Amino acid sequence: MGRSAPLAVLAGLIFVNCCSKPVISWPANDQDASDMSLPDYDQYLGEYLKPDDSLALLLDYDGTLAELTTHPNLSEMSVEMRQSLRNICNSGKAFVSVISGRDVDGVKKKIGLENVIYSGNHGLEVLYPNGTRQNQGIPKEVADNFDKMVDHLNREVVHHGSWVENKRVSLTFHFREAEQKYIPEMAARATEIIESYGYRANPAHAAVEAKPPIEWNKGLAAEFILGTSFDENWRQRKVIFAGDDTTDEDVMKMIKGTGRSFRVTKDKDLVTNADHKIPSVDAVYHLLKWIESRICG
Ligand SMILES: [Mg+2]
């Protein structure tokens, strides 16, 4: 490792706010990840997914299909990952849904494939390939307050480097680039403003998230998407899921025992509902390639 390598590693340890708790992004060429051997998907899935099975493949985006980055706009899925996902979609044997914390149009833009069911805002929004949209029951009076809340935050607390990520149904008020001396008051006032409009204010790393006051999560969203896309016997179908964050655990719980799930993490001690831990986005790529070869023949 060269003299500049420790700095590069430090530069890669950047906290991002796409999720409800701090997560760490690693550089794409992270040495630790490349040193790890790839998971043995024959062993993990060989008995579960047979060549003639029809598959429901559910995936998170940030940290799963694409490396985490310092700003959501910088995230890109690799050409190879997109091609493999496209091949699976076009196989005629797989149903693919991407469930993300981003807004639904944002995640569709990042993936760029047509025959995928996209879900955004941790499952609050669903966008079907035919353009049909389904938003989970946010009370009208709360939804009507959303734009007013965004305006109020922009007027009062967006200054000295802070900004609002408007996800249409929820938002994240980011202040990691603001000067430290402004942050305590900025965060406290943002919390007050968010709550005054009937939204839940959740602290996140260098951010406050505003979420509508309804009980919903990625697990319920996955169940909803599978239930509306298949008949009531969808639980007999083969379901595979991969995600990298605590919000993905709800999906892992939901399919436990019937499906197969993978948690992307380098933390060997992490407790998870997933069937297996895999170390990196690259390992997800190899999961897709394994599935592709399995069902596309
Ligand atoms: Mg993620």
Calculate how far, in angstroms, residue 3's C-alpha sits from the geometric centre of ligand 1.
32
What confidence category does residue 18 fall into, taking pLDDT thresholds of 50, 70 and 90?
A: very low
What is the percent of the chain where pLDDT is above 70? 88
How many whole angstroms separate alpha carbon 142 and alpha carbon 244? Answer: 30
pLDDT in tens, 174-207: 998 898 999 999 999 999 999 999 999 988 778 8
**Average pLDDT, integer, range 15-39:** 41
Cα–Cα distance list, 5 to 29, 34, 43, 126 (Å): 12, 15, 35, 42
Short-list 111, 98, 112, 117, CA closest to 228:
117
Q: What contacts 24+ positions apart, CB below 8 Å, involve 156-162?
A: 156/189, 156/193, 157/186, 157/189, 157/190, 157/193, 159/186, 160/186, 162/186
Calculate how far, in angstroms, residue 102's C-alpha sits from the geometric centre of ligand 1.
10
Neighbours of 162 (CB within 10 A): 23
What is the residue type of 99?
I
State the pLDDT at residue 36. Answer: 54
pTM: 0.79
The answer to whether the CB of 240 falls within 8 A of the CB of 24 is no
Residue with token string 């964050």: 245
pLDDT in tens, 50-106: 999 999 999 999 999 999 887 778 889 999 999 999 999 999 999 999 999 899 999
Surface-to-core class of residue 208, CB atoms within 10 Å of its CB (0-12 exposed, 13-18 middle, 19+ buried): buried
Calculate how far, in angstroms, residue 242's C-alpha sits from the geometric centre of ligand 1.
9
Residue list, CB under 5 A from ion ligand 1: 60, 62-63, 244-245
